[in-house]
Amino acid sequence: MIQLHQISKIYNQGKTNAFQALHKIDLKIADGELVAIIGTSGAGKSTLLHILACIDSYESGEYYIDDTLVKNCSEKKLAQIRNKKIGMVMQDFALVDDFSALQNVMLPLDFSKSKVSEKKEKCLKALQAVGMEKFAHHQSNKLSGGQKQRVAIARAIVNEPSIILADEPTGALDSKTSSEIMELFKSLNDAGRTVIIVTHDMKIAQQCKRVIRIEDGKIVD
Ligand SMILES: Nc1ncnc2c1ncn2[C@@H]1O[C@H](COP(=O)(O)OP(=O)(O)OP(=O)(O)O)[C@@H](O)[C@H]1O
Ligand SMILES: [Mg+2]
């Protein structure tokens, strides 16, 4: 369960260029939901997703993941939550160009104490889940946009997180590849994961069980 209570985010607080990107956001998302977040460019979608992913801070309000108040966590505990509970697919894939697909998927396992052979097996399983096992040893900057997106998803799911957050996962893809990627998210959701997708694409949003619209840093719908 995800709960945001009166979350406000101000970039550059205290400076002349201070900007309030989120205004007192209240939001509850139950386990196993499939949610789309929509809204115009600059509305605050990525900001909200980054806060949900525990990779960005906020100026006021409370964020609970399950029963954990995120604000009170040490860096170590926060890293643990990010690593175990959350899988994030960034707006621009954020793959390491000169790493292979497999090496990219392995990144979240860097801190795991498992044997390398076990880690590799886990990564190959994740790559298989997104239909990319044949490309495991391909350098990631030589993959197509859709293939990169799949590798980014494999990396997000390799630790079997309960929450998957995706920022415009189909933004750069043609409509056929987009619907394939959406099928992938739906199957992850069918397997019981919470999936939250930021999108501009109404075709994607319509396939989610709940749509949240955000405008000027406020949830309006
Ligand atoms: N690091 C930052 N410093 C200052 N302002 C920022 C920063 N990141 C985002 N903003 C501002 O906060 C607002 C919300 O940005 P955000 O990236 O969340 O929008 P978005 O809804 O994801 O837009 P898009 O659809 O274009 O990705 C925008 O006005 C943006 O200019
Ligand atoms: Mg964005």
Proximal ligand: closest to the CA of 47: 1
Which residue, judged by its Cα, is nearest atom 17 of ligand 1? 46
CA 37 to chain centre: 12
Hey, what domains does the chain have and what are their CATH numbers? Answer: 2-219 (3.40.50.300)
Rounded to the nearest angstrom, the distance between the alpha carbon of 196 and the centre of ligand 1 is 18
Q: What pLDDT tens digit does each residue of the chain (221 aa) get?
A: 999 999 999 999 999 999 999 999 999 999 999 999 999 999 999 999 999 999 999 999 999 999 899 988 898 999 889 988 999 998 888 999 999 999 999 999 988 889 999 999 999 999 998 999 999 999 999 999 899 999 999 999 999 999 999 999 988 788 888 888 899 899 999 999 999 999 989 999 999 999 999 999 999 97
Q: 167 C-alpha to center of ligand 2: Å? A: 7
Residues with CB under 5 A from ligand 2 (ion): 46
Helix (H) or strand (E) holding 51: helix 45-52
Amino acid identity, position 76: K
CA distance linking residue 64 with residue 147, whole number of Å: 34
Confirm or reject: Cβ of 170 under 6 Å from ligand 1: no
- Counting from 1 in the atom list of ligand 1, the atom nearest the Cα of 91 is 27
